[in-house]
Each structure stands twice: as C-alpha cells, then as structure tokens.
A and B are shown apart, each in its own frame.
Chain A
Amino acid sequence: MKSLERDLRAVRATGRKLLVPYFMGGLTNDWTEHVEAAVLAGADAVEIGIPFSDPMMDGPVIQEADLRSLAFGTTLESICDDLSRLDAAVPLIAMTYYNIVLHYGLDRAAGKLADSGIHGAIIPDLALEETAPWIAACDGADVASVLLVAPSTPPARVDQLAARTQGFAYASARMAVTGQSAGGGDGERVVESIRRTSDVPALMGIGIATPNQAKEAAEVSDGVIVGSALVQVILDGGGTSEIESFIRSFRSAIDS
C-alpha cells in the first residue's frame, strides 16, 4: 500500500471526513502560502494542479487558472521546485493531463513528484485501458495513481477501477466537467458502487461548490474534493485570509 492510501486511511480511522482543496500550482507568486493556509484551516490533503493548455475535463474556472498559470511560465518542474519551500503536514496529490507527464518522461515525472513530496497523481484523460505505463512509473516512486469512477461507469468496470486505483477512488459526483454544480448529482450511487467490492477511501468531487453540498457529499463518502469554487476565490484576488475562511466554512459544515 502506498503512503497516500495509508495516510488517508489513518485519517478515516479517526472518524474524520477528508477535506481536499485544489490549488492551481503557480497561479500566484505566493501560491504555496495558499496551500499552507488551507492546511492550517483544516485541509486533510491538497490537490495541486499542474497546468495544461487543453484541459478537457475542466470547466471555465480551472481553464482560466490553467491559462493564467501558464502565462507565468509554470511547468511541472517549477511547481515541484516551489514545493521545496513548503513543509506540508498533509499529503499532496498532483492533478494534470497525460501529455504533461508523458512529455517529461513517465519515470522521471513520477520521481520528480515524489521527491517534491507529492505522493499521488490524478490524470483524468488517462483511461484504465491506457494506464499501465503510468502505474508502472508510479510504482517505482511511491506515487499513487488515482483513478476516477463516473456515474456512467457500468458495475463490472467500477469493480476493475476500484481494484486498480491507488490512494483513493475519485468518485465523480455528476456527469460534468469541473465547476458545474447544478442538480443533485449521482455521487452517492457512485460511492456505493465502489464500496460493493472495495474499502479504498472514496472521495467525492466535481461540482461541490458550497459548504452545504460538501456536508451532504461527506455524509455518504469518505470526504470531498473542492476545486473550482476555491480557485474562483483566488482568481477574484482572494489571499490567505479569504482562503482560510473558505476552508473553515467547509470544514465546519463537514464536521457538524
């Protein structure tokens, strides 16, 4: 078992629901301070976006963050270098697209992430059928390769994904790209389908925009991932104090 899964299971064992905010790496000069603020305010792990020019699974908010960060010259390497300034007390998970790690070299990318304290990676355009080379690279470096399960995933495929995912299972709360929060969502059904065969931590994400949505999602899962709503705060100019209050509001809703 990789360290990410061990760490997340340890939190779950205390009865605490996991709160995982997403930050776009390199979005501002002080982005690592944003990460620290989130940890202080109660984040249990942090997802860090490595920007890509063509983020197929992301809505307008994260797209904007991708483009802004790229305009600053952000790369996989610059993010990893920035992270050396950070002494993260919680697990870090990268989120990027396959072309970024493919271009850097799969083994080299996994090694670089692990050396920078990132022990998980979510690559949403890497389907199960294509994931073997990346998993092999991750296995060489204590990086957990996190797979997504979607509301459209048929049961037999859920079983395969639950068996193959590492760290946790990313349960998509709805058929949507990031940042679309309309409708009730299918997250509960997705989590239930994962739990039929697996006790891997199941975190719900996509379209969780308010403390109340996070509370409802956490009640039926092991925790939540909050991305676009938080990135919007930063795009609007919010700094560490706005981020802290954002995270605290989600934390207290989840814990209540």
Chain B
Amino acid sequence: MSDPVLYMEEPDERGRFGEFGGRFVPEALMPACLELEAAFTDAWSDAAFIEEYRTVLREFAGRPTPVTPLVRLGEHLGLRIFAKREDLAHTGSHKINNVIGQTLLTKRMGKRRVIAETGAGQHGVATATAAARLGLECTVFMGEVDTERQILNVFRMELLGSRVVPVTSGSRTLKDAVNEAMREWVTCVADTHYCIGSVMGPHPFPWIVREFQSIIGQEASRQLADFGVDVPDAVIACVGGGSNAAGIFAGFANTSSRLIGIEAAGGSAVGNGSPGVLHGMRSLLMQDEFGQIEEAHSISAGLDYPGIGPEHAHLAQIGRAEYYAIGDEDVIGALRLLSEKEGIIPALETAHAVAWMIREAGGALPTGSTVLLNLSGRGDKDVAQVQAILRAQS
C-alpha cells in the first residue's frame, strides 16, 4: 500500500512546491537566504523558540483569536458559516502572526534591523509594531500611490518609530515596493532582515511565512470541534500573495475540506496568469507575451499584486485548492452585508472572500454547507475609501 499524499508539507531542498518556488535572487542575497533557511530550520525545531513565539502571540497579539458563528448571515445565505477572527488580532489582521515570528528570528540571527514592503499598510504596521516591541529598527517601503490611499497607516508606522519610504519607481504600488525592499536589502544584508509579508519571494520565505501563519488553521480546527464541526465543507480566504489563505488552508489541507482562495479580478494570477519568475520565485504571474509584468488593479491595495505565492500556484495546478476572482463592483456590497448582518466591518481584502460566498451560496456552495471563512482583517483602514465610493454612487 502506498503512503497517502500529504499536502502543504515542506518544500523540496531547492525550495520547490512542485514546479513552483525556488530561489531566483542576486548572488549578493543568496548567502542571506541560505542563512535564513538554516536559522529557521533550527528555530522551528527548538521548543524554546516555539514557546517564545506562542507566548508573544498570546500575551501581546491577542491569540488565540475566536471563531464566531455568523448566524444571521448564514440564515440569509442558507449556509452554516464560521468566521476565524483574525480581524481581532493586534494591529487588525493576520499579518501580526508572521511578523512576530520573523522578528524573533531576526533577533535570533543577531540582526538589529528589519525592512518590509507593504501594500495596504497592514503588513507595514504589523512589522513596525513587532519591531517596536522587540527593539528593532524598522524601515517600510510603500508605493507612493499606496501611501496616498492609506495615509493613516503611514502615520501609524511613523508613530511606532518606523521610517516609511515612498516608492516612486514603476507602478508605485506593492510590486514596486517589493523591488525596492530587495534593492535596499542588497546594501544592508549583513545586519538587516527582510521581513517579507506574504507567502512569496525566494525560498525559504514562502515556507517560513506559511509556517508562522499556520497557527490560524491549527486554532480554527480545534475551535470548530467545540461547535461540533469535524471538518467544514469549505475553507474560504482572500488571496493577494496568499498568506492568510495559506495559514488557514494549512489546518485543513489533509482533510476533505474544499480549499477556496479568492483573488481580486484585477490581480488574478491563477485566473489570468502564466508561469514566470519575479521577486525571487517561479510562480503564476500576470504578464504580457514578452514576460513583462503587468500592473494589478484592485479596489484593495492589499490584493494589488500581479503574482501569487508559489505554494498556491502548486495547489491550484494539482487541483487541491480552487481559486476564483471577484471584481471591485461586488466588494462594497459584501462589506455592507457583513457589517449589517454581523456587526463586523471587514477589510476590503477580506470582503472579496465574503463576496464570493454571497455569490455562490446555493451554487458552488450548496445550501446547507458548512463554511469556514478566514476573516483576515478589519475594515477600519478602509472606511474613508468606502465612504468616498458610496458618496460617489449616491
């Protein structure tokens, strides 16, 4: 008898998930990637490190976050819905899980500073927060367009003692912030860790970030059991780079649950992309016929990314996870419905997953299905933008 196939295990020695992943970085950064891989491998098998990571998450970041039954929305849609409340984690999204892990790792490697890229500012704020807590210097790269549409998050990072560098190259959004962070990292790699915010970039980042986010899925799996749910029919999460989705999928990858990732229609790497190499990884990318990367467009800055993490590309290719896209036009309605039915204002990113659930209730999600939604972030950062959109519509 052959062993059962296990999903979301470690990548191979070249950092591949199937044909995706790998390490496509300048030689100047290779030693740092190798050092990081060794440091993480060592730390992640060290009970003391894991205990420290969990303690900081418990004492500082508000974990475990609850699972909330969404009864009124569920009745409205004919589904049994549970929400994993990452919006209640410190700084308002799941991003804190990853940055606590990576900043602890930074200290363990003897580095004194972190740099990060950010789109909507959630990862930037989370990194600035963890850096303040652990006494690390922090510089955040943010596309100039995003610094304008998320101006309060820029100020938040500055209040936390970080420096925010507006990125003026290329499309001046998330992909260019990643480029600029990589360029900066080349100059300071000896004493600085690049705290990547999603399951992307060169190996070992996609693996590390997934591992630090997998606490979402582990907790949710236990918490659902308290509600008498053994395995949900579907686990749904929004996907930009894909860290919140990877975190919750990891808890259910080897169950019968459907794993469903929702991309923004204007940043749909699975739906509209093809294999290519960007930001240190081989993955699915939105690109033209010559291999030039296309600019993503989304109502939510956090999903404005033309690629997807390599493990998601792999899960899509082998059919273990499904990926669909939601357009900007469906997002505001979903945000309003969740707000009115459940008293939870979700982030615009999260609202994509809600919108798909609303659209597919009774369709791709048969009536009566049990659904676990990763409520990845709260909408406070987006209310001014939503207000402006609604005013323009009325």
- A positions within 8 Å CB-CB of B: 52-57, 59-60, 63, 67, 70, 75-76, 97-100, 102-104, 124-130, 147-154, 157, 161, 172, 175-177, 180
Contact = CB atoms under 8 A, between A and B. Distances in A.
Interface in B124-140: none
Interface string B275-298: 011111000010101111100000
A59 B184 CA distance: 10
B370 to A, nearest CB: 41
Contact of A153 (B31, B179, B182, B276): B31
A102 to B, nearest CB: 6
Given A99-B276, A104-B290, A130-B24, 15 more contacts: A52-B291, A56-B182, A59-B183, A60-B169, A63-B170, A70-B292, A99-B277, A103-B290, A129-B23, A130-B23, A150-B28, A151-B28, A152-B29, A152-B190, A157-B31
A152 B187 contact: no
B189 interface: yes
B169 A98 contact: no
Nearest to A73: B290
Contacts of B31: 150, 152-154, 157
Given A103-B287, A103-B290, A54 B179 contact: yes
B159 interface: no
Interface of B: 14, 22-32, 169-170, 175-176, 179, 182-183, 186-190, 276-280, 285, 287, 289-293
**Residue among B32, B190, B291 facing the most chain A CB atoms (10 A cut-off):** B291
Given A52-B292, A67-B170, A127 B278 contact: no
Contact of A176 (B22, B179, B186, B190): B186
B183 A128 contact: no
Contact of B186 (A76, A126, A175): A175
Contacts of A157: 30-31
A175 B179 contact: no
A166 to B, nearest CB: 15
Contacts of A153: 27-28, 30-31
Nearest to A180: B187
A161 B170 CA distance: 32
B15 to A, nearest CB: 9
B189 A125 contact: no
Contacts of B175: 54
A213 to B, nearest CB: 18
A177 B290 contact: no
Given A54-B278, A70-B292, A103-B287, A130 B22 contact: yes
Contacts of A67: 170
A73 to B, nearest CB: 10
Contacts of B290: 75-76, 100, 103-104
A127 B37 CA distance: 16
A53 B24 contact: no
25 contacts: A53-B293, A54-B170, A56-B179, A63-B169, A98-B24, A98-B277, A102-B277, A103-B276, A103-B289, A104-B291, A127-B26, A127-B30, A128-B30, A129-B14, A129-B23, A129-B30, A148-B28, A151-B28, A152-B28, A152-B29, A152-B31, A175-B28, A175-B186, A175-B189, A177-B183
Given A53-B170, A175-B186, A127 B277 contact: no
A167 to B, nearest CB: 16
Contact of B28 (A60, A103, A128, A172): A172
B187 A54 contact: no
Given A52-B292, A63-B169, A129-B14, A152 B24 contact: no
A5 to B, nearest CB: 19
Nearest to B290: A75
Given A57-B186, A125-B24, A129-B23, A152 B169 contact: no
B28 A56 contact: no
Nearest to A63: B169
**Residue among B30, B186, B187, B290 facing the most chain A CB atoms (10 A cut-off):** B290
B303 to A, nearest CB: 18
B187 A56 contact: no
A130 B276 CA distance: 14
Nearest to B183: A177
Given A152-B190, A175-B189, A127 B25 contact: yes
A180 to B, nearest CB: 7
A128 B27 contact: yes
